[in-house]
Structures are given as structure tokens and as C-alpha cells.
């Protein structure tokens, strides 16, 4: 039987219930930009989340630029990215909560000797604000919090696998001996493109959007991004890990 050498974990809506809070904070800035560019369309937090779950704000703005056909120079992009980061980080530091049963299962993993790292699309300061607010930051040294938005030069965003490849390189790990947990298609796609086995966490959809959306995402993440297991609750993770290691 093999043993997983490292566990990578997405943050937003995987460890922490943060996506809705973050999208609330950036909806106003997005609509400000739409008005500035003379575009009539407006976004709510829910509609942004529907279209851009798993993307950081930079990736979202680049997607909007492409979809809506407006120009956005580098200086303007950076200004909006920095303004959004401040607003989101403040909101997360005040209101973020953990996904159900995260802490007790991270404790089990730590007791069993599994090293863990956060591999996120979001800016590192935002991730740190989230994990500090919910009290799980002690599981992840800050140098083992990897951000596609701020750890990479140039910045990136999942589904680009660059942040996963970077984490593997920094930690001296092989893709075949690590696993990760993702809740979104963009995140799971990044893991798949990096060759890292991925567990699909879909319980957050049941909490926030209902059973139908949860089952829809389970299908998407297993069929389209080849996640090897679906997790509805973090209490299922120990058994998923055990079965995966038995297959190695």
C-alpha cells in the first residue's frame, strides 16, 4: 500500500465558506466598471458566482473584458484588483466561517503525520484572512500557502495549472504522490492539467444552493475534470484517503 506524501487543499468553499462573501464584496466594483465602460449589464454576487466561481478577480476581469468586449489597460486592471482585494480581505476577516467538519478532520490528518498546504487561486492575504478567521491557520505555515494571484510572476488563475506546478516544485513533491481537494470546475481542471489526483468537494453546493446543484457539480467534476472521488462532507475524507492509498 502506498502513502500520500502531501495533501494540497483549495481554500474558498473547500476549507472556508468564503466565495459568497467575496463575490458580495466585488459585485459593486464590477458594476462600477461596467458603468464606466458604457455597458448596461449589471451583476449581483449570485450571478458573478455563477459565471466565475473558482476565478480570482484578475481572472474574472479578464473574462469580463473578453465576454463584454471592452478595453482594460494594465494600470486600470491593477487598480481594480487592489481595490477588490482590500474589500474582500476585510469582509472575510470579519465574517468567514469554516466548511462543516473541516477542523476536526485537519486535526486527524495532522495527528497522522500528513503535511498539508493551501493551493489557491485567490490572493495570499485573502486566503490568510480566511484561515485565520476560522482558526485553521496553524495547520498551514504561511510559506505553504500558495496563491496563483500573488505567488506567481506573472500572476495566474486556475484553471491554469501553474500554481499547482509551482507548489509541487517548491515542496519537492511528485504529482503522483500528492492529492488535492477542489470544489470548482476551474480548480479541478487545474489539478487535472497538473496531473494531480483530485477529490471533488460538493457539500458546499448543498449548503448554499440545494441538492440539485450539488449533484450537478458532482457529475461535472467527475466526468469533465476526472476527480477520482466525490466528497459531500469532510467526515468522508479519511475513508476516501484510505481507499486511494490502497490503490497506489
pLDDT at 203: 96
With bands split at pLDDT 50, 70 and 90, how would you rate the model's confidence at 14?
very high
Q: What angle do CA 203, 207, 209 make, to 5 degrees?
A: 105
Is 80 exceeded by the pLDDT of residue 1?
Answer: no
Is 70 exceeded by the pLDDT of residue 44?
Answer: yes
β partners of residue 231:
201
* DSSP string computed for 149-200: TTTSSS---TTSTHHHHHHHHHHT--GGGEEEEE-SHHHHHHHHHHT--EEE
| Separation between Cα atoms, residue 210 and residue 16, nearest integer Å | 18
> Do the Cβ atoms of 87 and 25 come closer than 8 Å?
yes
The string of pLDDT tens digits covering residues 120-137 is 999 999 999 999 999 999
| Separation between Cα atoms, residue 76 and residue 61, nearest integer Å | 11
| Separation between Cα atoms, residue 78 and residue 218, nearest integer Å | 35
With bands split at pLDDT 50, 70 and 90, how would you rate the model's confidence at 25?
confident
pTM: 0.86
Per the prediction, the chain carries an average pLDDT of 94
| Separation between Cα atoms, residue 123 and residue 125, nearest integer Å | 6
Grouping H, G, I as helix, E, B as strand and the rest as coil, residue 13 is: coil
Share of the chain above pLDDT 70, in %: 99
DSSP state of 145: E
pLDDT at 232: 98
Grouping H, G, I as helix, E, B as strand and the rest as coil, residue 56 is: coil
| Separation between Cα atoms, residue 207 and residue 204, nearest integer Å | 5
Amino acid at each position: 500500500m502506498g502513502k500520500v506524501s502531501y495533501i494540497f487543499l483549495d481554500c474558498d468553499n473547500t476549507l472556508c465558506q468564503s466565495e459568497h462573501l467575496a463575490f458580495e464584496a466585488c459585485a459593486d466594483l464590477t458594476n462600477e466598471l461596467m458603468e464606466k465602460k458604457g455597458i448596461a449589464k449589471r451583476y449581483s454576487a449570485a450571478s458573478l458566482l455563477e459565471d466565475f466561481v473558482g476565478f480570482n478577480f484578475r481572472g474574472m476581469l479578464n473574462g469580463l473584458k473578453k465576454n463584454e468586449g471592452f478595453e482594460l489597460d494594465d494600470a486600470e486592471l491593477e487598480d481594480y484588483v487592489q481595490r477588490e482585494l482590500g474589500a474582500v480581505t476585510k469582509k472575510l476577516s470579519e465574517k468567514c466561517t469554516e466548511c462543516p467538519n473541516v477542523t476536526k478532520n485537519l486535526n486527524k490528518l495532522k495527528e497522522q503525520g500528513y503535511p498539508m498546504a493551501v493551493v489557491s487561486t485567490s490572493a495570499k492575504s485573502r486566503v490568510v484572512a480566511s484561515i485565520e478567521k476560522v482558526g485553521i491557520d496553524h495547520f498551514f505555515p504561511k510559506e505553504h500557502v500558495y496563491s496563483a494571484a500573488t505567488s506567481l510572476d506573472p500572476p495566474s488563475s486556475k484553471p491554469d495549472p501553474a500554481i499547482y506546478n509551482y507548489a509541487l516544485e517548491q515542496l519537492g513533491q511528485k504529482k503522483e504522490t500528492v492529492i488535492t481537494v477542489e470544489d470548482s470546475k476551474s480548480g479541478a481542471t487545474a489539478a487535472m492539467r497538473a496531473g494531480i489526483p483530485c477529490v471533488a468537494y460538493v457539500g458546499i453546493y448543498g449548503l448554499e444552493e440545494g441538492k440539485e446543484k450539488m449533484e450537478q457539480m458532482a457529475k461535472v467534476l467527475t466526468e469533465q475534470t476526472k476527480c477520482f472521488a466525490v466528497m459531500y462532507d469532510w467526515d468522508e475524507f479519511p475513508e476516501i484517503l484510505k481507499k486511494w492509498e490502497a490503490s497506489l
